[in-house]
Structure 1
Amino acid sequence: MTDDDHVYLSLAENSPEGDARWAFGTGFEDPLHGVDPALPPGVDAAALAARCLALGDDALVAAQRLAEWVTRAPELEEEVALANIGLDLLGQARLLLSRAGRAEGAGRTEDDLAYFRGPAEFRNVLLAELPNGDFAECVARLLLFSSWRLAVLQRLAGDEDPVLAAIASKGVQELTYHRDHAAQWTVRLGDGTEESRQRMLRALDELWPYLGELFAEEPEVRDEVECALRQVLAAAELPVPTVTPSASTVAASTVAVELGGGRRGRHSEHLAPLLEELQSVARSDPEATW
């Protein structure tokens, strides 16, 4: 076992479990067991609903994109890994959308929010909805997304709403493994063959501009996330992207930041087809019990 195999483990040293598990999750305990679901006095219900809805949408859409890798990943082990990462995110989405529905007080369930809203009603960031490219793009997206989401949920683990805090605490354990998995693949590809290195460089150049939308929403995590990303790229012997990406990427990411992007329901053309596939069965029989 070489040092390179664990070059990123220093970033996971604070894992509450203290072990090296990754995409297979963190156990099957109910994270809300013993947690009072009532909204605490003084909590802004509308703000809580909006926060849970946005984070739930991020997880739901990202999970759907990861599901598209099933039968398409470069090796069986990686197919299983990506599927399990997607299941972790789907679990987060269910809990967050359920909390959003309860906080808003309109009687909507997690299924209502997942299956019966249109693209303009979704609040996920654009990074989550972009179509899959090659495996390097999958790795780059997972690295950026999980690094950012981990930093956000670490802060929410101390939220005044005990339900959101419990959801975030479990999510931190899962996202630690997601980030570690993406980081290890970034190192393998970046410090691998010339072909794998070039693909990794292209993927980072194309996706890096979408960090702007993430930091526009959560500016307090910028330094932490960028520090973690720099550590990974240094280990992979990859430069921090500075070149100009394609014109289409620049335009899309600029609009995302300037207009508030996905958090305001302004999405790319890629979200509608994703939702059509995700929601098709439920919409075919809206009265069914799932």
Structure 2
Amino acid sequence: MARAATDDTALFEYALRLGDNCLILGHRVSEWCGHSPVLEEDIALANVALDLIGQTQLWLGLAGEIEGQWREGGGRSADDLAFLRDAGAFRNLLLVEQPNGDFGKTLARQFLFDAWHNAMLGALQGSADKRAAEIAEKAAKEVAYHLNRSRDLVVRLGDGTAESHSRMQRALDDLWFYTGELFLADEVDAAMLAAGIGPDLDDIRAQWDAEIDRTLKQATLRRPDSGHVQKGGKRGVHSEHLGYVLAEMQFLQRAYPGARW
């Protein structure tokens, strides 16, 4: 049975969100290339960035395919969606666009996202949309590695020296109020849940909470107090940081439209 146009629009938005998260975080992580504290981390972070950009191609490719079903002139390519949208058209979570800061802050951001991403992909493998389920199955293998790596480093630094502990705690405190947006469901999430395509974010939160609490206990880190939730990214309202990311990421395509290698 063909899906209604409104459902297609919701699935398009949903795929955009998943793809934009990977794209913006992938770009952020790539900024460490050549600047990491040790060579091993330089290589590891570059590989994480490449994984995320590869996942971007899949999710934005799906978004373009869906868009082609109802947009006059066909859907946009993954490259067009990545390089030819302004900040207000991006649907990524605010967490992933936050600046790298020091190595501890980068790791805290990565871990907070990885714990959510891993739970989301696990649930999406059972999606009623075969295309989404296949992407999730492929991406889940990579993200399981991302989570294992970021979890291990958070524990090692949190339970390390006084300096590494204080930096990890400060990073968590700074980033915590962006995590609430991970679980704020809106009409798109509700439509995907009703269609059996996306998971219940309350279930994802329960898994995320368990992972966070278990890891922070091992790391001797304090879970920040719940408080204000910063939101807006899922509907295109972003922090000032996204504009700087896009200015760098989109420069070549904006300066030389249609340029190819």
Once the 2 structures are TM-superposed, how far is the Cα of residue 171 of structure 1 from its aligned partner?
Answer: 1.3
The match for 1:265 is 236
Within the alignment, does 1:174 sit opposite 2:142 as a pair? yes
Within the alignment, does 1:229 sit opposite 2:183 as a pair? no
The match for 1:274 is 245
The answer to whether the 8 Å contact 1:136/1:199 transfers is yes
Once the 2 structures are TM-superposed, how far is the Cα of residue 242 of structure 1 from its aligned partner?
Answer: 2.5
Over the aligned positions, Cα root-mean-square deviation in angstroms equals 1.5
CA distance in structure 2 between the aligned counterparts of 1:121 and 1:157, rounded to whole angstroms: 27
Structure 2, unaligned stretches of length 5 or more? 186-200
Once the 2 structures are TM-superposed, how far is the Cα of residue 181 of structure 1 from its aligned partner?
Answer: 0.5
Structure 1, unaligned stretches of length 5 or more? 1-39, 245-249
Report the TM-score when normalising by structure 2.
Answer: 0.88
Cα deviation 1:113-150 (Å, max 9, x = unaligned): 00000000000000010111001101100000010011
Once the 2 structures are TM-superposed, how far is the Cα of residue 95 of structure 1 from its aligned partner?
Answer: 0.6
AA paired with 1:178?
H
2:87 to 103, 119, 128: 119
**Secondary structure of 1:101's aligned partner:** helix
CA distance in structure 2 between the aligned counterparts of 1:177 and 1:285, rounded to whole angstroms: 37
Structure 1 segments of 4+ aligned residues over 4 angstroms from their partners: none
Q: How does 1:135-214 map to 2 (within 5 A)?
A: 135-214=103-182
CA distance in structure 2 between the aligned counterparts of 1:243 and 1:209, rounded to whole angstroms: 8
AA paired with 1:120?
G
Within the alignment, does 1:239 sit opposite 2:207 as a pair? no
AA paired with 1:264?
R
The answer to whether the 8 Å contact 1:205/1:243 transfers is no
1:65 to 4, 25, 28: 28
CA distance in structure 1 between the aligned counterparts of 2:133 and 2:237, rounded to whole angstroms: 28
Once the 2 structures are TM-superposed, how far is the Cα of residue 42 of structure 1 from its aligned partner?
Answer: 3.3
Within the alignment, does 1:45 sit opposite 2:13 as a pair? no
CA distance in structure 1 between the aligned counterparts of 2:102 and 2:260, rounded to whole angstroms: 37
The answer to whether the 8 Å contact 2:177/2:226 transfers is no
The match for 2:192 is none
Once the 2 structures are TM-superposed, how far is the Cα of residue 287 of structure 1 from its aligned partner?
Answer: 2.3
**Secondary structure of 2:32's aligned partner:** coil
CA distance in structure 2 between the aligned counterparts of 1:209 and 1:171, rounded to whole angstroms: 27
Cα deviation 1:85-134 (Å, max 9, x = unaligned): 11111001011001001101232100110000000000000001011100
Once the 2 structures are TM-superposed, how far is the Cα of residue 51 of structure 1 from its aligned partner?
Answer: 0.8
